[in-house]
Structures are given as C-alpha cells and as structure tokens.
Amino acid sequence: MPKIKVDGQELEVAPGRKLLDVLEEHGTHVPHFCWHPGLKPHGNCRMCLVKVNNSRKLEVSCMYPCTDNLEVTTKGPEIEAARKTVMEFLLINHPLDCPICDKAGECMLQDHTYKYRHGLSRFHEDKVIKETKDLGPTVRIWGNRCISCTRCIRFTDDVVGTGELSLVNRGDHGMADVHPDVPLDNPMSLNVVDICPVGALIDKSFLFQARVWFTERIETTCTSCSRGCNVTATMHKGEVKRLQPRRNDDVNGFWMCDAGRLDIEWLKSPARLRTARGGAKDVADQLRSAAGRVGIILSTSATLEEMFLAKQLATAVNGRIGFVSLDQGTRWVSKSGFAIETDKTANRRGAATLFGKNLGFEDVTAGIHSGDLTHLVVINAIPNLAWPEDIRDATKKVSWLAVADVLESDLSTRAAVVIPSAAWAEKDGTIVNRDGRVQRLRRLHDAPGAAVSDASWLQEVLVHLGARKTVVSAEGVFREAFPGMDYGKVGNMGSALPAIATDVPANTVQK
Amino acid sequence: MDAHNPHADAHKDAHALVAHAPPGLSWLARASIAAYLPSIAAGMAKTLEWMFRPAVTLRYPEQQYKPRKGYRGEHRLKKDEQGRPKCVACFMCATACPAECITIVAEPAPWPDRDKVPAKFEIDMLKCIYCGMCEEACPCDAIELTETFTQIATTRKEKIYDKERLLKN
Amino acid sequence: MAIDRPTRLPMEIEEQTEGDLGGKRMIVNFGPQHPATHGTLRSIMEVDGEVIKHMDLEIGFLHSGFEKISEARTYNQTVVVSDRMNYLSPLCNNIGLSCAIEKMMGIEVTPRCAAIRVILYELSRIADHIVCVGLQAMDLGAFSMMLWAFIERERLYDIFENVTGARLTTSYTRVGGLMRDVPHDFKDQVKAFLITGRKTVREMENMLNTNRIFMDRCKGINKIGKADAISYGLTGPLLRAAGVPYDLRKNRPYLGYEKYDFELVTEQEGDVWARYRVRVRELYESMKIVEQAIEMLPEGPINIGDPEVVIPHKNEKNNPQGGMEGLIYHFKNYMYGHGVQPSPGEVYLGTEAPNGELGYYLVSDGTQKPWRWRVRPPSFYNYQAFPEMCKGGTISDVVSGLSSLNIIAGELDR
Amino acid sequence: MTWLWFFAKIGVALGIIFSLGPVCIMGDRKISAWIQGRVGPNRVGPWGTFQPIADILKLMMKEVIVPDGVDKVLFLGGPLIVFIAPVFGYCVIPFGNQIGEEKLQVVNLDIGLLFIMSVLSVGVYGITLGGWASNNKFSLMGSLRASAQLISYELTFGLTMLLVVMMSASADPLKSASVDLSKIVLHQAEYGWNIFGGATWWGLPSGLIGFVLLFTCAMAENNRLPFDMAECEAELVGGYHTEYSGMGFAMYMFSEYCSMILSASLIVTLFLGGWSFPYLTDPADHSFLAGVISIGVFFTKICIILFLYIQLRWTLPRFRYDQVMSLGWKTFLPLALVNIGYMAVIGVFLEKP
C-alpha cells in the first residue's frame, strides 16, 4: 500500500489509483471540469493541477497515479495562478449566456470562476461562434458554451457504448457533436446533460422551465421500473420539473434512463382522477356485507405499506388477493452494465416478500367467473395500464366494483365506488427494488383534487370494518409491518429488506 | 429620580427665568425674556414676514412635480432596435427583488437570433417597493425605472402590470 | 433607580380603577392613536387630576417584523428593510447597516464612498433634528414652526431624491459601496442647502430660544439625571442633554469621523429644554461636518474593486463589464445560495444616529442570508425611560416630553 | 317703521356674525397657509372663497355619531347652548352710529355690559356639558379645563370692563358711569379711545394695560390657541369636542368663531372706540351715509382684531393648563386690580368730576 502525503497529511491508498480520486475521497477539494467519478479520466481541462514532489511542473491530478512517498500540495500561489490562467482561457470564448442558460446556478464554470478566478476579462477580440442545434430528440447543444471537456463523449463511448458523440474541429473551434445522421438517441442520452459541467448540453424537456436557484430538490426513488434508480426531483412551484440521477453505487451508479426521467408528465395529466365517487365508508359497508365473496386486485407498483394494508383488508373480509403488473419491452443493458428492466412496476419484489412468489390475478378472476366472488376492489398505481382482458371481463361480471386509480380508465367509469389515488410523487412510502433493497418514496407535491394515498383510504376502510383502531401515517404502517424499522433507518440510500412482522394474520390468498 | 412637581417649580419668577436664559445675550434681551410680550411681538413679526413669502407648495394637478432623471418610479421594459423586448427572461430581477413582486415565465424565442424571451412578465406594482434593485440586477439593460411617479388605478388588477403595459411605459 | 412599585400589566390597571373613580385616580391612554405619539405607541397614565402618578408603556402596535423579514433576504436586500425602520432618517439606517456588514466581511470602503456616506449621514441627521424640533414646537401648539421645519426638510429630501432616486425609501447603500454615484451637481446642491438651512435654523432658534411660553413648557420638564440616563441606556441627544459627553462619532469613530472637526454638544439640565438646545446646536455641528466633507470630497470609485462582493460596473451599454467573468460575478452575486457569503461569525456595529446609538448585530452562518439580523434602535431604549421622566408631571408635560424623545415607532417595534 | 328698523338691525347684527363667521373660518385657514408657506384652500370658487360653504355642506351631510353611554340630551344640547350665547350677546353691541332716531344696536340696553357678561358665561355651559356628556376622559378633562379657565379669566374680564366704565365716568357727568355700551362708544367718540386712556393723558398706561388684559382674557374665553386648554389637540385629542361629528362639531367650531367675533366687537366697543374714527365719523351726524360709514369702520376694526387673533394662533405655542391658571390668578388678576386701583385713585384725586 503506497503512502502519500496530502498537504502534510499522510494517507494510505490502494496502488494504481489516480490522485484526484484519492483527494476527492479524502475530502480535499481540487477543482476540475473533465474529471467525473463515473468516467475514465481524460486530463484535458488542466484545472486539477497540483504540485507533487516528483515533478518540477504542476501535474494533472486526475491522471497522476499514486506512488509511494508522494507528497502533494493542493494550495499555494503557484497553483492558484495556474488555475486562474486555466479559467481565463476557458472563459475567453465562453458566450455571455448566463441569462439564457438553464445551467446558471448549478454551473461548474460559474462556481469555479467565482472561487478561483479573481479578476475581469482581458480579452477584447471577437469570440468564436459555434452552432446551436439539436443533437437528438432529447438533447440540444449550444456549441458556444462547450469547453471541450469530453465528458459527454466519454459517457457515450464508455458507459452507453453507442458512441454517437465525438469532438469535432480543433482548438477553440472544438465542440462535442454527433456524426451526421446519427442522432444522440440512446436510452440514457439525457445523462450527458447532468454531467456537462457547463450549459452546453441542455435537456429539451427542462428548457426554460425554471431557474434552478428557485427550485427545491427532494431525494426520492424512480418508480418506472423495478431497478428503483435513486433520483433527485427538482421542484418548482409545486411541480416536478425534472428528475436527475442520484449517486448510489449499489443501485444505479451515477445514471438513470431517459424513460424514467421523462415519466413525470402524466402526473399533471388532465386524465388524472380528481373526484371521488363514494368513499371509504361505502367500501367498508359493501365489503362487510359481502365478507367471503370479496376479491382484491392490487398493482405491484403499490408501496409496501399499501400492500400490507391490502393484506389486512383481505384478512378482515376473508377475501382473495390478486396482482396485476406490467412487463414491457426487452431488457436493455449498457456497455458499463447499467440495465433497464422489463418489469415496469416498482415493487414486485416487495409483493413477493409479503405474499409469496405467485403473483397472479387468475385466482381472483376465476373466483368471479365461478360466482364465488361478487365484490371486487381494484387498487392500481400503474399509469396507463392496459388492463388484461381477463380482469376487464371479471369487472363486468361482479355485482359491485370499487376502483382506486391514478388515471381514468374504463374500469373507473364503470365502478360503483371510485377513489382517486395519489401517484408516487404525492405520497410517502417504501418500495423494494428487484435486488430486495427497500427505498423511500417521498411526497413531492400535493395530490390533485380529492386524491388520497391508498394507504390512508385503506386504513379508513379498515377502521370502519373494526380491523384497525386509527389511521396513521405511512411511516406508522411501515413500523407496524416491520417492527424495529423506520424510515430513518431506510435512509436516503435504501437498505436491505427486513423481516416482516410475525403477528400479522396469515396470508389469506387462497391457492 | 426626583419626581418634580410642576405646581411647585414650574412657575419660576422672572429672575429665575433670566438666569435660565441662554448665555451671550445682552441684559436687555435677558430682561425682556422675562416678559411675554417682546417675544410674542417678535414672533408676530416673523409670521407676518412669512405671510409675504411665496408659497413653497405645488398646486398639484395643474403643477406637476417633475422628478429628475434617476428617480425610481414606475418600471419600463426596454425594446431593442427591432422593437422586441430586450428582456431575455433571465430572472435576475425576480431574484434580486426584495419584495418578490416580479413574475416571469420564459419561452423559446420565435426569432432566430434570440434564444429566450419572456412569455409572461408581470410586476405587481402594489407589492413593488421601488428600490431599483431589478434595474441594478438586469444584465441585459432591459428593465428600467422611469420618472413616472403618479400612478392611478381603480382596481387591484390594473396594478398588476403585464409585459405589454411595461413595454408601453 | 428605585421604581416605586412593581410594574403591572396595563390591563390590570384598567380593571382596578375603571368605572370606580370615587375621587381616586383615573387611567388615561395616550395612544395607540393619539396626536402626540407621532406613531403607534401607547402610554397608559394613571393620573391624579392632571398629575401623572404612574405610567406604563406598551409597544408593538407597529410591529412589522423587520428583523424576521431580513433573515429571509440576502445581505444587500436587507437595505430596503432598514429604510423603513426610522422614517425620519432612513439613510442613517442604510449606512449603519452596510457598515456593519462590511465590518463583518472586513471590507474597507473607498474614500469617496466614505465621504459621501458621511455627508448623507449628517444631512439625514439635520433632516431628523430639524423635524424633531419642528414637531416639538407643533406639539406645544406652534404649528407654523413645524411646517417651516418641513419646508427645510423637503429641501434635504430633494437632495436625497437626486442622489438616491427616492425621497424616503432611499435604499442607497450596498455592501462595499453605494447604489450609484452622486449626481454631478451634488456639491452645489448641498452648498445651497447649507445656506438656506442655516438661515432656517437660526430663524427657528430666534423664534423659540427667547419665547417665554416655549421656555415655560420646556424648562425643568421631563428631567432625567446623568446617572439615570446612563443606567437606562439612553443615547444620543437625550444622554448628551443630561451632561454625558458620549457620541459614537467621537468615542468610536467610523467612516473616518475622526478626520472631521466638530464639537461634541452637551447640556447639563437633562430636561426638554436641554434636549432642544442639544438638537439645535448639533444642527450647526452637522452642517460643519457636511461643509468639511463636501470640500474634501475625493474623486475615485464609489465601490470597492472586489467583484465578488460588488457587482461589476455596467458599461455604457449598461451590460456587466468585464466580459464573461463580469457576467458570472454578476450572476453569482444575485443567485440564491451563491454570492456574498460572509464566513460564520457575528458582528455588532453601533453608529450615532440622530436619536442615539443605532446598532446592528448580525450573525452569519456562512450563507447568503443573515442568520440573525438584530437592531439596537435608539428609540426603544429611550422610550423605556419615559415613565420615570414623566412621573409627577402633568399630561401636558407628557406631550412635550414625548416629542423631545423623538420616538420613531417604526424602529421602536422593528 | 320701528319694526322695520328692528328687523333691519337684527339683520345687520346677524349678518355681521353669520357672514363674518365663515369669513373667519376661511381667514383662519388662508392666513395659516400664508404663514406656513402654503396656498391654503383654493379649489372651491374663486381663490377658494366658497370653501366655508363647502365645509358646512359637508359637515351637514355627515352622520352625527352618538357614542355609546353618552347622555344624549346633553350631548346633543351642548352645541346648541354654546351656539346661542354669542348670538344673544350680539344684541347689545352698537355696530354703528345713530341713523335718524334709531340707534344701530338691536336692543339698547342700559345694562348692556352686564348682559354681555352674563351671556358670555353661558357659553361655558355648552362646552362643559358637551364634554361631560361625551363619556370620554379627554372630553371630560377638556370641559373641566374650560370651566376652570373661563371662571378664572371672567374675573379679570369683569375687572377690565369695570375699568372701562370708570374711564367713561371720568369726564362728563352727563355721559358718565354708564354700563350702556352705546354710551361708552359715544364717550370714546367724543373724548378719545379708551385704549389711549380715554379723556385723560394719565389714563394711557391704564388703557393700554386694560386693552392687553381684555384682549388676552377674550382669547382665553374663546379658547383660542395660546389658551386652548379645552381642545388642545396635541394633548386632549380635541378636548370637549373629541366625540362630536357632523353638525355637532360644526356648531362647536362655528360658535368658537362667533364668540371670537363677539369678543372682537366687545374689544372694539370698549377700547377701540366702537364705530367711531377720528375725522371719519361724527357722533352728531345722524345721516344715513354717516351711519353706513360707521358700520364700515366698526366692521374694519373687528376684522383687524380677528386678524390678530388668527395670527397669534399660528405664532404662539400653547400654555400648560396650570400655567394658564397661574397666569390668570397670579398675574392678570393682580394687574387688573392694580390697574383699577390706579384709575380709581388718580381719577378721584386728580380729576374730580
């Protein structure tokens, strides 16, 4: 293990690691543009210069390997002067675009200029003009702003493996660009926007939507597939404006897919259910009278808490429970191993944990067709779910139907009781990803109209039925379900799924 | 502190008052202070003199006060050479505004040479405190405080100035 | 000081004696709405005939939450809040606040900026004192005096308007400098004012100094002794009228006040008359300072050169100068969560405002917004000594005493 | 014919009081404006001359607010009492020389001076009752102050009137020792104004002091500024009329100006020779023209006194209540007594009639 000295402080590092990696890990901040922890180092921006004892000149720390007895100095007039000069060069051709650039406020160039470049520009010549164009369906490039750090190029080359982007032209005319007729159109394309240290690459869906310094950021989890990527939601005036991946090496690394990122439009869709027809009391009355003849169909996008409560409900009315889930497309794996799952529901693993491996709805529909079941409760959290014909037929057959859904469907128009559900962004809860990791969903904004979270109306029904005492928060339900656990222990990064409470009534799903 | 009793000491005799008179006055002046009449006469002379001074007030609707350039009155959105609003919807004014009275919604520009324009630019003049920080914060020289300070409206809605109203100013 | 009985809540007094005079004492309220209060404050007096036996004070009617509002504003934005605290001399508040922030950040303003600030500070003091003296006369019935004072005050406001762009809500200072430079004819304007101002002050002095009725109403009224004044924390003209030579411009100079030649005005009696004399004599001293400052007004920049604190100048097209760097500094200075972020710590700076020590106590947690923004307003401390001053006087003395305190309800309640 | 004259005289007397009243209000506002470097009312009519009419119309149309817990009869009656007093007082003021056989005086009372004294004291009832009835501490204090102050100054007032009577008595036994106001004026027209000591040179100091005393006491009786203890807007908010609005307030305000006019007339009558003016009026000339001229002279003199009132109001600060009282009792009363003593002693020993 080589030993190095950083600003007089001794460190022991694994051999072969790059210096900047170690420094960042150690907490010594060294400014950089082209280096990104998820990408291979390139060493072109020259911002991460440090002084080492092995060399007379300043060295680029992102490319410098740690060797034994290396002494590193990260501060000092020499280094500052070098940084200042690098900054000045980077800025001479940068357009005065802060007013119209969406990156302003989270822009590394701004931050580093403020911190490391003291002084005003001495550049009087005309700036180089580069083009502004769409790189693909999702990303637009302002060539003028590009500082040729090649982060995006390395991303498409090394992470995605599609390699659409490359650096065109030389010197101060250089900018990232796509090959003609090959648009930047891969399932992870929008990650280049996040890693762009300046505002050259812009997400077209977020273009001019909000200034980032007005926004609020909330850490939550993506529900678009069973991977459960950790994301940060950018909130502005009570709306989710965008989702960005949040680093979690155990789940998604630094990235997320475009599909999950853009799957926020339906939250404010006019098709959202906003008004209730009937309520928890009606459901409770009907189910009480029909005890033993009740079927419950639950989507595997429901949170753990909702599943737990649905299970309680099934026990209370001696009903059968069935599941509906959604599989789409084929599994896509990037060059670096980032996969997009076919299972588009967020919590199938959680359902499997609570209810066993067999997660079908055939048991319920068969019961309905045979006439055993006359009452059906459908609880769905999957947007635009194409309902299986079997369920559709079954809903037509039952004598009483209750639907809790996020979007309008033919089921909800037909139902006797309709309860508008809060979508994933409107409720607290936990979901379990395909690897069995419990992760938090956080309430980002208010639910539309009269929509309530499934956890709360299910509890109300249970209270009416006498199966519960009171209505508690989602966290309260979670504590009931998993004794000794709470949201604090789940944390922002998730944790392993704990054991479920043993005193919960046995699984009533009849097989 | 000794609570003084006005009934006991408020009425000092003339000597005491003379003793209190400001220093540097002639004995004649000191003595005359003791009596009411001379100072009253002097005061009357002064008020009489003021009666013949010209009035300093303005007769408002006919005579208008013209503030000098640099007065912080109503806002104006400036136009560029082609008559388009100069504003690029950078939100700097809204950020700098201590009263939070500026509402902007941005949209992509319909012109090839511009990227971003305000789709909506509203200033709630009832919230505005006319501090001029928006003008100071504007990096594009697009907003300006004019010398207009007479502002009349009959409804609250009128005082929410939209983009067209601000461009007209 | 012996307070002869425990302070009671105003409501308790009301209950004890309301409707039960029986030859006993009566409760009279001055304020919250009363012509003599010049603001929204309340003095509850227990009177025997017209003689005040006990007085309680109540404040908070004008509570605007200035301090709390400021905690949600950036350092530069709090200037507009400080305007509204003392509505007789807003520039003093602006300057005091900016000086406090600069002290916290270790910034030294340019000589031109300091001189302009001194001139405006003293002109504000003149505006404040002149109106205070006028209002004192008005409260005693000489209404014309008040308007003459206001005419002079309006001349000063004309200067303020030309300099800052607003008559009252000046918001002129910024951290590290000023909002903009003074106009080219500033010197002439100030000089012209000094001539008319002196004349008006002399005129007012002539009217009041030898006026027997005015003297009767002022001498020996609302007396407070040296020791009491100090122990109550009185500052400004009230303290100096009690014979204590304490003036922050002399004792703890800021903005280079030590360079100016002026006299520390004191009177001995500690009564309304002494306060009136101190104010009038300070008017002349302030004019002396303004005269010196306007003579030596140095050329040069008004803002410090550090673009990380002060946004870069705008060029002739009014765009931020300094190319990309200038624009970035400009943005960084304004965006939430960026810009001027003093390192964690706290600062107190007192300046000698017209009514006394106007102190700003700021605590920074290292963010762009102050964690705590506290004001030590002179009126708040001056007002608490009022019951002691009034005890034993008549209702009429309350009026003359209140106007001599020059309570500004805006800064009283913050 | 007699009735015609009677009504004509009533007309002139009421005309003076009711036309001068608004003029006085207007004058107060205009003169204060000029003194303070303002323009004053200038919107209604030419140069704002119709402003008082607008004021009165406005006040008439305003709601008369009766606060809770007031004695309604007294609350509404107070303004009436205070308003009646000066109008009654005006009955005996000679506002001109004789025209033919008719004296220009509504009622030629032999005891005119006493009548005025008694009528003037009625006014304080209106103030006191109105203030008391308002159920407001400030009003109560104002009315208490008013009653105490009026009583205090009435003494000096009376003594000064006595001085006038003594002065009138000093020369001609035929026109002597009268409390008849018209005789007092005639005496002054014949022998010289009382302010200058009447008929004798040694009366000059006495006359001057008497004039100042009467002027000051009249001011105190009218609650004008240096003595406006009863209103005292800086201390008592509005004193006795704090709770009044609309017509009640209008009557209080108007009656203040009316009593100003009455006391101005009284001062003119007692000290400034009434309707007479050297070389302009001739007491013996009873022609119509001379009568009109004498009315004009009288009117002009009143206006000058009123102007002084108004100017003083906008010049001086006000006394404190106890200072007013001690000024009245400790300064004015002794001074008036000494003055009378001087007049009596010198008059008796030097100028035996």
Look at A204 and B14; give whichever has higher pLDDT: A204
The minimum CA-CA distance between B89 and chain A, rounded to whole Å, is 7
Classify burial at A377, counting beta carbons within 10 Å of its beta carbon; exposed 0-12, middle 13-18, buried 19 or more: buried
Contact D126, D170 (CB under 8 A): no
Mean pLDDT of A147-163: 90
d(C-alpha A165, C-alpha C369), whole Å = 42
What's the one-letter identity of residue A164?
Answer: E
Contact A139, A190 (CB under 8 A): yes
What is residue C51's three-state secondary structure? strand
The minimum CA-CA distance between C224 and chain D, rounded to whole Å, is 20
The minimum CA-CA distance between A134 and chain C, rounded to whole Å, is 25
B-D contacts at Cβ under 8 angstroms: 47
The minimum CA-CA distance between A211 and chain B, rounded to whole Å, is 7
Query: Between the CA of residue C301 and those of A118, A185, C310, what are the distances in Å?
Result: 19, 54, 12
In a domain? residue A357: yes
Mean pLDDT of C221-242: 88
Contact list in D for residue B53 (CB cut-off 8 A) is 37
Mean pLDDT of A113-133: 84
What's the longest Cα–Cα distance across chain A?
A: 87
**Chain D touching partners, 3 or more CB pairs below 8 A:** B, C
Contact A294, A509 (CB under 8 A): no
pLDDT bracket for residue B10 (50, 70, 90): very low
Question: How many separate domains does chain A show?
Answer: 2
Per-residue pLDDT tens digits for A432-445: 988 888 999 999 99
In the predicted model, is pLDDT for residue C19 greater than 70? no
d(C-alpha D147, C-alpha D156), whole Å = 15
pLDDT bracket for residue B1 (50, 70, 90): very low
Specify the CATH number for the domain of residue A40: 3.10.20.740
Q: Which of A99, A121, A214 sits opposite C325 (nearest CB)?
A: A121
d(C-alpha A444, C-alpha A434), whole Å = 24
In a domain? residue C7: no
Query: Between the CA of residue A186 and those of A156, A192, A256, A332, C98, what are the distances in Å?
Result: 9, 11, 12, 11, 53
What is residue A466's three-state secondary structure? coil
Contact C203, C148 (CB under 8 A): yes
pLDDT bracket for residue A195 (50, 70, 90): very high
d(C-alpha D1, C-alpha A230), whole Å = 113
Specify the CATH number for the domain of residue A488: 3.40.50.740
Contact list in A for residue B116 (CB cut-off 8 A) is 99-100, 208
What are the 10-residue block averages of pLDDT along chain D, 353 residues in total?
Answer: 76 78 85 87 84 85 83 83 80 78 74 82 82 83 84 86 76 60 79 75 80 86 80 79 84 84 86 80 77 84 89 85 82 86 76 53
Classify burial at A17, counting beta carbons within 10 Å of its beta carbon; exposed 0-12, middle 13-18, buried 19 or more: middle
Q: Which domains does chain B have, with CATH numbers?
A: 6-51 (no CATH), 75-168 (3.30.70.3270)
d(C-alpha C99, C-alpha C102), whole Å = 5
What is residue D103's three-state secondary structure? strand
Alpha helices in A329-431 (DSSP H): 348-355, 362-370, 389-397, 410-414
d(C-alpha D277, C-alpha D214), whole Å = 21
What angle (nearest 5°) sits at the alpha carbon of residue A154, between those of residues A149 and A159? 145
d(C-alpha C269, C-alpha C267), whole Å = 6
| A and B touching (3 or more beta-carbon pairs closer than 8 Å) | yes
In the predicted model, is pLDDT for residue A508 greater than 70? no
Q: What residue in C sits closest to B133 (Cα-Cα)?
A: C77
In the predicted model, is pLDDT for residue A138 greater than 50? yes
pLDDT at position D216 is 87
In the predicted model, is pLDDT for residue A468 greater than 90? no
In a domain? residue C12: no
- Parse chain D into domains and list their residue ranges: 2-349
Contacts with C381 (C-beta within 8 Å, 6 or more apart), sequence order: C232, C233, C234, C235, C356
Contacts with C295 (C-beta within 8 Å, 6 or more apart), sequence order: none
What is residue D248's three-state secondary structure? helix
The minimum CA-CA distance between C300 and chain A, rounded to whole Å, is 19
Name the helix (H) or strand (E) containing C329: helix C323-334
pLDDT at position A422 is 92
What ipTM, to 2 d.p.? Answer: 0.81
Q: Please indicate if any CB of chain D lies within 8 Å of the CB of C13.
A: no
pLDDT bracket for residue A503 (50, 70, 90): very low
d(C-alpha D17, C-alpha D306), whole Å = 12
In a domain? residue C47: no
Q: Which of C51, C73, C314 sits opposite B98 (nearest CB)?
A: C73
Mean pLDDT of chain B: 78
Helix (DSSP H) and strand (DSSP E) numbers for chain C: 17, 8
- Those residues of chain C whose CB sits closer than 8 Å to some CB in chain A are 307-308, 312, 319, 321-332, 335-338
pLDDT at position D77 is 82
Contact list in B for residue A104 (CB cut-off 8 A) is 90
Contact list in C for residue B95 (CB cut-off 8 A) is 334-336
pLDDT at position A235 is 92
pLDDT bracket for residue A219 (50, 70, 90): very high
In a domain? residue A88: no
Q: Which of A100, A207, A214 sits opposite B90 (nearest CB)?
A: A100
Q: Which of C328, C333, C336, C340 to mutate to test the interface with A (most CBs of A within 10 A)?
A: C328
The minimum CA-CA distance between C301 and chain D, rounded to whole Å, is 41
Contact list in A for residue C330 (CB cut-off 8 A) is 98
Helix (DSSP H) and strand (DSSP E) numbers for chain D: 12, 2
Range of the domain at A64: 3-75
Q: Please indicate if any CB of chain B lies within 8 Å of the CB of D322.
A: yes
Per-residue pLDDT tens digits for A233-286: 999 988 899 999 999 888 888 999 998 899 888 888 888 889 998 888 888 888
d(C-alpha D100, C-alpha D285), whole Å = 9
Whose CA is closest to D146, among D220, D255, D204? D220
What angle (nearest 5°) sits at the alpha carbon of residue A57, between those of residues A54 and A60? 85
Reading the block at residue B166, the tokens are 């601000």
pLDDT at position A506 is 38
Question: How many separate domains does chain C show?
Answer: 1
Whose CA is closest to A296, among A352, A242, A371, A377? A377
Backbone angles phi, psi at C55, to 5 degrees: -140, 135
Q: Please indicate if any CB of chain C lies within 8 Å of the CB of B4.
A: yes
Q: Please indicate if any CB of chain B lies within 8 Å of the CB of C178.
A: no
CB contact under 8 A, C35 and D322: no
d(C-alpha A163, C-alpha D169), whole Å = 128
Look at D194 and A382; give whichever has higher pLDDT: A382
d(C-alpha C110, C-alpha C300), whole Å = 8
Specify the CATH number for the domain of residue C392: 1.10.645.10
Per-residue pLDDT tens digits for C372-394: 999 998 988 888 888 888 888 88
Three-class DSSP labels, C55-109: EEEECCCCCCCHHHHHHCCCCCCHHHHHHCCCCCCHHHHHHHHHHHHHHHHCCCC
Per 3-state DSSP, what percentage of chain A is helix, strand, and coil (rounded to 5)? 30, 20, 50
What is residue C48's three-state secondary structure? strand
In this prediction the pTM is 0.84
Contacts with C356 (C-beta within 8 Å, 6 or more apart), sequence order: C234, C235, C236, C237, C238, C239, C378, C379, C381, C382
The minimum CA-CA distance between B120 and chain A, rounded to whole Å, is 12
Conformation bin of residue C87: beta by default, left when phi > 0, alpha when psi is -120 to 50: alpha
Contact A346, A431 (CB under 8 A): yes
Single residue among A53, A75, A97 that ends a domain in this structure: A75
At which residue do the structure tokens 């001359």 appear?
Answer: D49
Contact list in C for residue A106 (CB cut-off 8 A) is none
d(C-alpha D348, C-alpha D343), whole Å = 8
Classify burial at A385, counting beta carbons within 10 Å of its beta carbon; exposed 0-12, middle 13-18, buried 19 or more: buried
pLDDT at position A418 is 92
Mean pLDDT of A125-148: 89
At which residue do the structure tokens 């419950």 appear?
Answer: A296
Tell which B residues from 97 to 136 touch C, by Cβ distance under 8 Å.
Answer: 98-99, 129-133, 136
Name the helix (H) or strand (E) containing C28: strand C26-30
In a domain? residue C14: no
At which residue do the structure tokens 């007065």 appear?
Answer: B71
The minimum CA-CA distance between D43 and chain B, rounded to whole Å, is 10
Q: By percentage, how much of chain C surpasses pLDDT 70?
A: 92
Range of the domain at C124: 66-305+339-412
The minimum CA-CA distance between D16 and chain C, rounded to whole Å, is 29
| A and D touching (3 or more beta-carbon pairs closer than 8 Å) | no
In a domain? residue A137: no
Q: Which of B36, B70, B137 sits opposite C165 (nearest CB)?
A: B70
pLDDT at position D351 is 60
What is residue B99's three-state secondary structure? coil
**Chain B touching partners, 3 or more CB pairs below 8 A:** A, C, D
Mean pLDDT of chain C: 84
Q: What residue in A sits closest to B87 (Cα-Cα)?
A: A99
Q: What residue in C sits closest to D145 (Cα-Cα)?
A: C50
Per-residue pLDDT tens digits for C130-168: 988 888 888 888 888 888 888 888 889 989 998 988 888
Positive or negative, the Cα torsion across A139, A142, A145, A147? Answer: positive
Other Cβ atoms less than 10 A from the Cβ of D12: the count is 17
What's the one-letter identity of residue C142?
Answer: A
d(C-alpha C247, C-alpha C250), whole Å = 5
Positive or negative, the Cα torsion across A331, A332, A335, A339? Answer: negative
In the predicted model, is pLDDT for residue A43 greater than 70? yes
d(C-alpha C283, C-alpha C285), whole Å = 5
CB contact under 8 A, B57 and D320: no
CB contact under 8 A, B44 and D33: no
pLDDT at position D171 is 53
Per-residue pLDDT tens digits for C342-359: 889 899 998 998 988 999
CB contact under 8 A, B55 and D37: yes
In a domain? residue C46: no
Whose CA is closest to C352, among C179, C93, C48? C93
Q: Please indicate if any CB of chain D lies within 8 Å of the CB of C397.
A: yes
pLDDT at position C348 is 92
pLDDT at position A509 is 34
Q: Please indicate if any CB of chain B lies within 8 Å of the CB of C144.
A: yes
Reading the block at residue C339, the tokens are 């810009």
Q: Please indicate if any CB of chain C lies within 8 Å of the CB of A214.
A: yes
d(C-alpha A154, C-alpha A133), whole Å = 20
pLDDT at position C366 is 86
Strand-pair category, A70-73 with A49-52:
antiparallel
